[in-house]
Amino acid sequence: MMRIALGSDHAGYDLKAEIAVALTSAGHEVVDLGPDNGRESVDYPDFGSAVGHAVVGNLADLGIAICGTGIGISIAANKVSGVRAALVHDVTTARLSREHNHANVLCLGARVLGTQVALDCVAAWLDTTPGEGRHLGRLDKIAALDAAR
């Protein structure tokens, strides 16, 4: 079981709530970084960065960040050093983001994915073991880019 940080903007709030229920039911600990409602318009960089900081700061093992498209919040999360945030759209990209890219933040677009597809993405991502071999050198190169900025 893992500690999973969740964050969204207003557009992702309802999906965040659905994912929180699913994760809790599966026995994971949810670290909900907000927002606490979907009525007020909020800014995705605030929540994408919060999820990223929670992961690299070891307040959570992994993070999930959600906005309308998943684009803005993935860009924001990836600005936090050590974050490998992946915007995924289906079970295949979710699985490969973990296997090949060791994504430590999963990003979802609530306005472009159905709820069940999003939940399937989360399940596939959590079920996938990060790959080794050829992937590790590539990840080292990403870490070097991160360290150089």
Give the residues lining the site for ligand RB5 (CB under 6 A).
Answer: 9, 11, 44, 67-69, 71-72
Enter the DSSP assignment of 29.
Answer: E
CB 99 within 8 Å of CB 129: yes
- Closest by Cα among 57, 72, 66, 3 to 34: 66
C-alpha distances in Å from residue 63, one per residue of 16, 103, 128, 139, 141: 11, 9, 15, 18, 22
How many angstroms separate the CA atoms of 70 and 143, rounded? 23
Catalytic positions are 67, 100
